[in-house]
Amino acid sequence: MAGDDRVQVRRVYEEPAGDDGTRVLVDRIWPRGMTKERAHLDEWCKEIAPSTELRTWYHHDPDLFAEFGRRYREELTEPERAAALAHLRELAEGGALTLLTATKQAEISEAAVLAELLRGDGG
């Protein structure tokens, strides 16, 4: 599996970094005010995003992050999301991968859960 330094999480609003590798947006909704040119995306993998119900329940409450992660991992076993996760694994095995999100707290986002899974730390 990819090493820890090969899977990163960043906000899509940050300037791209030289070590980003493949840049993939993992949000279901396009980031407000962001143009495709400014995003510098290689892919938009909206299929991997948590369900609207889970996202609405979670509302990025830090106290709910552990439970959000558990529920999201369950959702990732659904066929469409599982296929998208397998695709992200392939990208990570091929080189550096940066998972992008628009949330203000990327460290408690679906991108953080995905990075943990792709690094082999959580799942």
pLDDT at 2: 42
pLDDT at 83: 97
**pTM beyond 0.85:** yes
3-state helix, strand, coil in the chain (%, to 5): 50, 15, 40
- Both tokens of residue 25? 């947006």
CA distance linking residue 30 with residue 78, whole number of Å: 22
Q: Are strands 22-25 and 43-44 parallel, antiparallel or unpaired?
A: parallel
Residues 6 or more apart whose Cβ sits within 8 Å of residue 51: 75
CA distance 47 to 85: 9
pLDDT in tens, the chain (123 residues): 444 568 999 999 999 999 999 999 999 999 999 999 999 999 999 999 999 999 999 999 999 999 999 999 999 999 999 999 999 999 999 999 999 999 999 999 999 999 999 998 655
What pLDDT was estimated at residue 3? 46
Residue 22 β-bridge partners = 97
